[in-house]
Chain A
Amino acid sequence: MGGLSALSVLFVFLSYAVTTLFIVGFLAKIFKYATTPAPLKIPTTPAPTSRGGVAARLLGELLLFTSLFRGNKWTWIGGYLFHFALALVLLRHLRYFLVPVPELVSFATEVGIWAGVLLPITAIYLFLRRVLVDRLKYISTGADYFVLILIGLIAITGLVMKFSFRADITSVKEFMVSLISLSPVNIPMDPVFILHLTLVLVLMAYFPFSKLIHMGGVFFSPSRNQVDNSRDVRHVNPWAKR
């Protein structure tokens, strides 16, 4: 890493460390979920009676938030737009990592800007719901506010780079690509970018140890991922003494 500034060395180190933590932490969780037994059949019925039906049920939860839609339309609209915006923004960010930029990502570049604007708005909306609805206020923990603020700030610093203090995209991309190719170059000396990156690293480090793991949760939830066939097919509990 000869020729790198001290600040660059710090960020290069942090980026690698946090990414490793993120991947290992996430995989460890998933591994634990996958290997913990489900002793009994507990799908919330009426439930699908085939594997294909279960796949459709899970896909509905993942892509449309079907159960949340049933439960609360106001939270659904906020939560759905928030996640939709987040997904588009993430997709758009691939253009800072990939050469050449794939077509799908170029498409997301256009929409992604608006998604970037939507993201902090929906984060504020969800934040306000937590403060204003008595039931939500009662159940919200510090961590719930923390994540919303964190993602909101990440979005805002991103927008600042796009619209007011325009960052030098070329050097940002050069830095990101250099990280991926394991031959790091100096970090662009742009304070907004450095702040943006720092916040993202905090989020990534926090991710596997927090409720953000919920994105994996739905696939492992026995009440959603089990087939309703207990009378026809014997489900075996691996730890039962018989």
Chain B
Amino acid sequence: MVDKIETPELTGEIKIPKIEPGATSHYRPNQASEKHNNNLGFPGTRVENWQEKSIEKMDDLLSKYKSLLVYLDSCVRCGSCADKCHYFLGTKDPNNMPVARQELMRKVYRKNFTVGGSLFPVLSGAEDLTEDVMTEWYSYFHQCSQCRRCSVYCPYGIDTAEISMAAREIMDTAGIGQKYCNEILGKVMDVGNNLGLTKPALANTLEFLEEDVEEETGVPVKFPLDQEGADVLLIAPSADFFSTPHIEGFMGYAKVFHEAGISWTVSSYASEFANFGMFIGNYETMQKVATRIKDAARELKVKRVIVGECGHAWRVAYSFWNTLIGPFDFLDKKYKNPTHICEFTLELLDRDAIKVDLTANDNRVVTFHDSCNVSRGSRMGDSSGGQFEIPRKLIKKVCGNFVEMDSETIRELTFCCGGGGGLLTDELIELRVQGALPRAEALHEVMKERGVNTMAMICAICKAQFTKVLPSYGIDMEVVASLHQLVSDAIVLKGKVGV
């Protein structure tokens, strides 16, 4: 299917396109069924008085979110953000300029909540929430991956992600849900993970992994499940149990725990790090999903919570958990809770608690893709910018060949993979391919000029998205690697226990 998609050509530089109005107005994700909406407490189908309900919800959100209120008021249409969104760069559709995306909501806000907008709608660009406007909303608020790149460049820090989240919550409240997110949220709340993987299935998978690693290395690395009293509860995105190259990273975590002699466990009740509650902007849902993790940590009597490689989930964990489900006073205060697996592994390496042989990765020339939500919505370590330094230090410890991509495309200026924010669904494949354009350009350049053959990353969505879309650009999916996959290949397993 991928090869039929209109794939932009790689030109060797990231170009600002001439606008093509309406280019992607037909891109829209499938709508959620009655059941999926009801699961989350939303009306099953579009309610009769959807306009009224939507405006009511907007009013409610305006009183609850300073961000929404201030952002809707403050934009001066300076255009600083206009050419910064990967979806605009890849699709040329002007409604994918962050400011234009915001205007879709702002025009309704003006009409219903401002004096100027209700008195002089034409002058101020105010509009009612008509059927047409709702059609635009559904389409373009699902062409935003909530990556926050626009907010970096805005003189007021206006974050289009906040507006997309609000729009999605308003639509959900009116019974217009998105299938991909709502279906998955139902599963995580029912079964404990996005894949709907039951406890026996999960146990099987972990067993299989144990056999696999032992066969390959001769060392009996354990993958414990629901082990009460373990030191560490590991929360990984469920893709880590199945997908490639996620699973290679997951084996990496296990080897690190094994070598450090630290007991750990996965929980079958909270077997998901991802939290799509953020994507749909619904606080209560996000809180419910996160609460499972807290409950599991309590139940298993662990000392600390360590989390795996996932971008938006790390944002939720680092920035929101303390508010949503904190304080973590029942865990050992010696540790930062939650700890990112990269923080954990680097710390072990820094104090020589585990050994690596970096020649094991000599066949690789590695670059690092900063995941958007890690870069612009979280931190690692003790100082500002740790989310960039720690993964890089870690890569350099396990591989001798590291190359950076174009400086306009890394760290806080990184481009989203094109599949974040609840858009990682088949029916949006064209958008996903086009949205990956800026990253594909930057990657292609270092592959050509510097011999890069591996792009490491720490996000489950990035990994799934890139393995799927990079082939459209003629880039082999083997390039995509989990950061802990590199750790996994370089770590020296002695099989000894205790540090």
Contact = CB atoms under 8 A, between A and B. Distances in A.
B19 A134 contact: yes
B152 A67 contact: yes
Interface residues of B, number: 73
A67 B74 CA distance: 15
Contact of A72 (B80, B125, B158): B80
A67 B78 CA distance: 12
B66 interface: yes
Task: Sort chain A's interface into a size bin.
Answer: 35 or more
Given A39-B64, A39-B65, A217-B70, A71 B80 contact: yes
Contacts of B67: 38, 42, 221-223
A40 interface: yes
Contacts, number: 215
B157 A44 contact: yes
A217 B74 contact: yes
A31 interface: no
Contacts of B84: 71
A68 B125 contact: no
Given A67-B154, A211-B76, A46 B65 contact: no
A237 B153 CA distance: 27
B159 interface: yes
A80 to B, nearest CB: 10
Nearest to A214: B74
Contacts of B284: 241
B80 A231 contact: no
B336 interface: yes
A238 B159 CA distance: 22
A240 B75 contact: no
B227 interface: no
Contacts of B81: 71
A138 B21 contact: yes
B100 A138 contact: yes
B18 interface: yes
Interface centre among A143, A234, A239 (most CB of B within 10 A): A143
Nearest to A208: B115
Contact of A39 (B114, B125, B283): B283
Nearest to B94: A138
B97 A135 contact: yes
Interface string B57-76: 00000111111011101111
Given A45-B378, A142-B122, A220-B66, A214 B156 contact: yes
A223 B77 contact: no
A235 B157 contact: no
8 contacts: A36-B64, A68-B155, A71-B155, A138-B94, A143-B123, A217-B156, A223-B67, A233-B322
Given A42-B377, A67-B80, 20 more contacts: A40-B283, A42-B319, A45-B379, A68-B80, A68-B153, A71-B152, A72-B153, A134-B18, A136-B77, A138-B94, A142-B123, A214-B74, A217-B74, A217-B156, A218-B155, A218-B157, A230-B323, A234-B322, A239-B64, A240-B324
Q: List the 6 shortest-distance A-B pairs measured between CB atoms, nearest first.
A: A217-B74, A71-B80, A71-B153, A141-B125, A223-B157, A224-B157
